[in-house]
Amino acid sequence: MDSLGLVPPPLKKSKPNQIASDMRVVIDLSFDSMMADTEITSVSSQLTRCYSANRSTSRPVNLFFTSYGQRIQNRFETKIQSHINWKDVVFDTKSYLELFDKNDLVYLTADATDVIDELDENKVYIIGGIVDKNRHKNLCYDKAKKENIATAQLPIGNLFEILVRWLECKDWQKAFLEVIPQRKFNEEGKKQRRIRKNVDATDLERDIPDTVQNFSVEEHEPSEQV
């Protein structure tokens, strides 16, 4: 507080000292036709969140939004117009197959059998940009197999944010705990205990989406200022 009794404005949060990673991360936006309008809004919100996470990390990746078009593009052009000022992200109408060597591609999906212990910065990691409320089983996995692309899953979910946090600390548990708030586990645990009273374990595993393996953990309305 200064001599006039005024509280000084809070210090502006400084950006971390960034050392760019060579890693390339793709958000695959080829699922536009499979989603309802509300899900398009949610995906757009998650793209905003991915961009924000990448801008705030000390080891930013090279971020690509591929197969960009249709309703997602329309939403960005009408509701998130500030995206034209975004830095270090590529909006591309082409597929990742047209942009990268297939041998470098790894599609991250919870349905894959191989679990990544350590990220390879020479690889191109793909995340499916879809919010489908669990309607389309094995969608990204089947797509990758059809395209003859390698698949893998991270040992923990909420893919993009945890991926960039891992680049900072090289520790999956630490990255996980920094991104997923403890309250999320508490809420999910209470929810599953309630459901188990009426649903057997097999049905529970099949019908309830895994909170930490979705494209995102929480849905956020996209911000005009990123």
Active centre residues (catalytic): 132
Tell me the CA distances in angstroms from 36 to 12, 29, 72, 130, 198, one per residue in order. Answer: 39, 14, 11, 10, 30
Spatial contact of 217 and 49, defined as CB atoms under 8 Å apart? no
Question: How many residues belong to the chain?
Answer: 226
Listed in sequence order, the DSSP H helices in 84-181 are 96-99, 139-146, 159-169, 172-179
Residue-wise DSSP of 49-86: HHHHHHHHSSS--EEEEES--HHHHHHHHHH-GGGGG-
Distance CA 140, CA 132 (A): 12
- Residue 4 per-residue DSSP state: T
